[in-house]
Structures are given as structure tokens and as C-alpha cells.
């Protein structure tokens, strides 16, 4: 058997990012052949990734890649916020976003087969990240905009990402609108986008809240009261109706129209939304880690 030197172990470790003992074992298993050892570690990583795939991954990051009117947001999840803030995890998330942008992928299944800068597929790079970081890591969602219009993008703290497509206006306005959407989370763009079912339900609620005295008012007066309440609600749930976060004296609609622009649409991703997180106390988490 070829001699397993410290320098050989070090070289394999730098090449693969695996632990020192794992590198030594890989070289021993493959008679000191560093290429075969690297491949062996990758296969081991895939096995580890499969074992960890059932764990809940509700933390993570939103990564952005943009080139003019082409932009993507990708949600990459980890099990803990600790790993989500690891430089290796951040680098993986950024690589996935760049792969999404350059490949033209429009969904996660297609994205998994796209290649990152290292030449690996996204799925291969994900498995390697699982082996290196020791947690379940998943590429969960992506949104994409390919537009001839202005596209604004904003990521807040790696946790909230927004893309805005703006006809007219400029890049500063588009980015400002993306920041607004990140902060205020409007469910709808304009009043016309609010579903009729939502309005009917809100009208029913407002009528139920009214006093008998108000309900006894003439029909035309009652309708004006209800309409006023519904308009207020619609303003609260639409981008155009909300006060603009960068100028609270104006609504978003007023700011957009003053710029001769129009918001075509937007997307907003938040890390972990819709995932049921497992709640564990700190002592339990530490005890669990000690058993791994």
C-alpha cells in the first residue's frame, strides 16, 4: 500500500473540504490514489445526504443573481441558523443562484441538473455541502424574471428576497419598491388584483361588527360606510395602496405614477415560510449533537 503522508491528507482535505480523519480513511481505502479518494468521498457524501434528507430544514438563505432584466431568487435551506451563516453555506447558495441565472432554469427540478462554476451539478454540490457541513441542505424554491423592463431586486439579511418588474421609472425606484415589499409584505399589487371572495368576506365581517344603530341607517348611507371601510382594507393589502416606506406622505401608487411608471408584478420569498419547524430546547439539542 502506498504511504499515506500528512501532505497527501492535507491536499485531499483542501480539495474536498472533508475532515482530516475522513480524508485519511479515503486515502487508505483507495491505496493513496488521491483522485479515487476524492471520488470515494463524494460517494460517501451522497450516502450521508440521503440519510439526512428526512430532517427538517427550515433555516437557510435567500440568494440573488441578476444581470439587467434577468434576475433569480433561490431559497436554500439548512437545519440551523448556525450553518446558514457559515461561509461555505453562503458560497453554496450564491453558486446555486448564479447557476440558476446562467442556465435559464425556471424550476428547482431543472436547476438541480444545472452546473455550478466548479463543474458539478447543483445536486452534486448540494450533496458535497451536506457531507461538509453535517446538516440536511435543500434547494427548495426559486423565482425568475426575464424582462425587457427594469427589474428591481433586494435581499434583506439573507432572509427575505424580492424581485419587482417595473415598466418605466428607473433602477433606483425599482430597488426602493423591492425594499418596500420586503418590509410591508403586500399580498396584492393593485386593487384590481384583490379577489372578489376576499372583498365579500371582509364586507361580511364589517357588517357583523357594525352596531344595530348603524345597520338601521338608510341603504345608501350604509353602503358608503361599508365602501369606505373596504377601501381602507384594500389599501392595506395592496402595494399601490400602502404608504411608501421611503416617503410616508405618499402612497406607492402616487410615487409610481409621478415617475411615469407601472408595477407589472413582484415576487417575495421568505426563508422557511410554510415549513413546520421542530421546536427543541437548547439542552436537548446539545445532548442530541453529542450522540451523533
Instruction: Give 282's pLDDT tier (boundaries 50, 70, 90).
Output: very low
Domain at 87, CATH number: 3.30.479.20
Over residues 195-204, the mean pLDDT reads: 94
Instruction: Please give the radius of gyration of the chain, using alpha carbons only, rounded to the nearest integer.
Output: 26
Shared domain check, 273 and 137: yes
Shared domain check, 107 and 37: no
pLDDT of residue 292: 43
Report the alpha-carbon distance of residue 80 to residue 213 in Å, rounded: 55
Report the alpha-carbon distance of residue 58 to residue 165 in Å, rounded: 28
pLDDT of residue 222: 85
- Decide which of 206 and 147 is more confident: 147
Shared domain check, 33 and 77: no
Report yes or no on 211 lying in a domain: no
pTM above 0.95, yes or no: no
Report yes or no on 260 lying in a domain: no
pLDDT of residue 23: 80
Report yes or no on 231 lying in a domain: no
The winner for highest mean pLDDT among 50-59, 115-124, 203-212 is 115-124
Shared domain check, 149 and 18: no
Mean pLDDT of the chain, nearest integer: 88
Report yes or no on 256 lying in a domain: no
Over residues 54-80, the mean pLDDT reads: 90
Report yes or no on 192 lying in a domain: no
Q: Is 112 exposed, middle or buried (0-12, 13-18, 19+ CB in 10 A)?
A: middle
Domain at 22, CATH number: 1.10.8.10
Over residues 138-163, the mean pLDDT reads: 97
Shared domain check, 44 and 151: no
Over residues 218-226, the mean pLDDT reads: 87
Report yes or no on 216 lying in a domain: no
Shared domain check, 161 and 281: yes
Report yes or no on 208 lying in a domain: no
Instruction: Give 290's pLDDT tier (boundaries 50, 70, 90).
Output: very low
Q: Is the predicted pLDDT of residue 60 greater than 90, yes or no?
A: yes
4-13, 194-203, 237-246: segment of lowest average pLDDT:
4-13
Structural domain count, the chain: 2
Q: Is the predicted pLDDT of residue 277 greater than 80, yes or no?
A: no
User: What 3 state SS string does 25-87 have?
Assistant: HHHHHCCCCHHHHHHHHHHHHHHHHHHHCCCCCCEEEEEEEEECCEEEEEEEEECCHHHHCCH
Shared domain check, 174 and 80: yes
Report the alpha-carbon distance of residue 114 to residue 99 in Å, rounded: 6
* Unique residue bearing C-alpha cell 441542505: 137
Shared domain check, 82 and 40: no
Question: Please, are residues 146 and 69 in contact by the beta-carbon 8 Å criterion?
Answer: yes
Q: Above pLDDT 90, what percent of the chain? A: 60
Shared domain check, 277 and 179: yes
User: Distances from the Cα of 152 to the Cαs of 116, 137, 170, 199, 254, in angstroms?
Assistant: 24, 28, 9, 30, 18
Over residues 3-30, the mean pLDDT reads: 80
Shared domain check, 166 and 81: yes
Q: Is the predicted pLDDT of residue 172 greater than 70, yes or no?
A: yes
Q: 259: which 3 cell numbers?
A: 415617475
Report yes or no on 224 lying in a domain: no
Q: Where are the alpha helices (DSSP H) in the chain?
A: 6-16, 20-29, 34-52, 81-84, 87-103, 108-113, 122-133, 171-184, 196-209, 212-215, 219-237, 252-258, 282-291
Shared domain check, 143 and 39: no
Which residue range(s) make up the domain with 161? 59-185+269-291
Among residues 226, 73, 214, the alpha carbon closest in space to that of 152 is found at 73
- Decide which of 18 and 6 is more confident: 6
pLDDT of residue 286: 47
Shared domain check, 96 and 29: no
Amino acid at each position: 500500500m502506498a504511504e499515506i503522508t500528512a501532505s497527501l491528507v492535507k491536499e485531499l482535505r483542501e480539495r474536498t473540504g472533508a475532515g482530516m480523519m475522513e480524508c485519511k480513511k479515503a486515502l487508505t481505502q483507495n491505496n493513496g490514489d488521491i483522485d479515487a479518494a476524492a471520488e470515494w468521498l463524494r460517494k460517501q457524501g451522497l450516502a450521508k445526504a440521503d440519510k439526512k434528507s428526512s430532517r427538517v430544514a427550515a433555516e437557510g438563505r435567500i440568494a440573488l443573481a441578476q444581470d439587467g432584466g434577468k434576475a433569480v431568487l433561490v431559497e436554500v435551506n439548512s437545519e440551523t441558523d448556525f450553518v446558514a451563516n457559515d461561509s461555505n453555506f453562503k458560497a453554496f447558495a450564491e453558486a446555486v443562484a448564479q447557476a440558476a441565472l446562467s442556465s435559464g432554469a425556471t424550476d428547482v427540478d431543472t436547476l438541480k441538473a444545472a452546473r455550478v462554476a466548479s463543474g458539478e451539478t447543483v445536486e452534486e454540490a448540494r450533496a458535497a455541502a451536506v457531507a461538509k457541513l453535517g446538516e440536511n441542505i435543500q434547494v427548495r424554491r426559486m423565482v425568475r424574471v426575464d424582462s425587457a423592463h427594469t427589474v428591481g431586486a433586494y435581499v434583506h439579511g439573507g432572509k427575505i428576497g424580492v424581485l419587482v418588474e417595473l415598466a418605466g421609472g428607473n433602477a433606483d425606484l425599482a430597488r426602493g419598491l423591492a425594499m418596500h415589499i420586503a418590509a410591508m409584505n403586500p399580498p396584492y399589487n393593485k386593487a384590481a388584483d384583490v379577489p372578489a371572495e376576499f372583498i365579500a368576506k371582509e364586507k361580511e365581517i364589517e357588517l357583523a361588527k357594525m352596531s344595530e344603530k348603524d345597520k338601521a341607517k338608510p341603504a345608501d348611507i350604509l353602503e358608503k360606510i361599508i365602501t369606505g371601510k373596504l377601501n381602507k382594507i384594500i389599501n392595506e393589502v395592496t402595494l399601490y395602496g400602502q404608504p411608501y416606506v421611503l416617503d410616508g406622505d405618499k402612497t406607492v401608487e402616487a410615487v409610481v405614477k409621478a415617475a411615469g411608471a407601472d408595477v407589472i408584478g413582484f415576487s417575495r420569498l421568505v426563508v422557511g415560510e410554510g415549513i413546520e419547524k421542530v421546536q427543541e430546547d437548547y439542552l436537548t439539542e446539545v445532548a442530541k449533537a453529542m450522540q451523533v
